[in-house]
Amino acid sequence: MRLATWNVNSIRARVDRVTDWLLANDVDALCIQETKCKDEQFPFERFEEMGYEVAHVGYNQWNGVAIVSRIGIEDVEEHFPGQPGFAKDPEAEQVMEARAVSAVVGALEPSGPTTLWSLYIPNGRELTDRHYTYKLEWLRKLRDAAAGWLAEDPEVQMMLAGDWNVAPLDTDVWDPEFFVGKTHLSAPEREAFAALGETGFREITREFLPEPHTYTYWDYTRLSFPKDYGMRIDFAYLSPALADRVTGVSIDREERKGQGASDHVPVLLEVTD
């Protein structure tokens, strides 16, 4: 089984690249982030023509997450338990954003069903912004949900994958000094990210790609990609039962090249039956 995650930065703008990549890499299921469209705007037909089913959550032109699978999709959930919402005004209703979707895939596979979560963790914006505290709360609630899933079923096959908007190590960015006083590298963010590992879930990409400067994101400004001013912020936390089945992980840097590329690249997992 081949599982992947990719922040595509607008599915409508990059549907050709995404579908071509799925076919070229023989991917069974892909977690997508930043679709940037409402449900009715998602290009379902393009994926369905290829034999993929789609679960998508999108409320407006911001955020948006999806799962596409050619090994079935069942039991779709739009939010994880306790997922917080956000509004600029702390006194207003905290509106749920399109940042998490789950589906069970592979129910007929020899290894049995696997639950995938496609996650787009809040950016945080600035350390003094309410969006930053929202980000930390979002990660805390996700950690609580993950602990609950494992407590309920220690043998669950589950992947929490996506754009985490956290660089856990200094070597995950091109220049740590550039990020002093900014989000993504602050101690509370890193602690919240690491707390997922305390539940028993394992961040599998680091196990297979431990080397420094293995980036998954390059900004569109400052000639970031040619200069390799990158960040590693796309990860996959797996339940112990699923992590034990992973045989390889790769980051497809080639997908950052060429016209119309996303600022993120796909991360691909090889999973044995």
pTM summary value: 0.97
Q: Would you say 7 is a known binding-site residue?
A: yes
Q: Would you say 184 is a known binding-site residue?
A: no
Cβ atoms < 10 Å from Cβ of 39 = 15
List pLDDT tens digits, range 163-222: 999 999 999 999 999 999 999 999 999 999 999 999 999 999 999 999 999 999 999 998
Q: Where are the domains of the chain?
A: 2-271
Residues marked as catalytic? 120, 163, 264
List pLDDT tens digits, range 237-272: 999 999 999 999 999 999 999 999 999 999 999 999
Superfamily (CATH) of domain 2-271: Endonuclease/exonuclease/phosphatase (3.60.10.10)
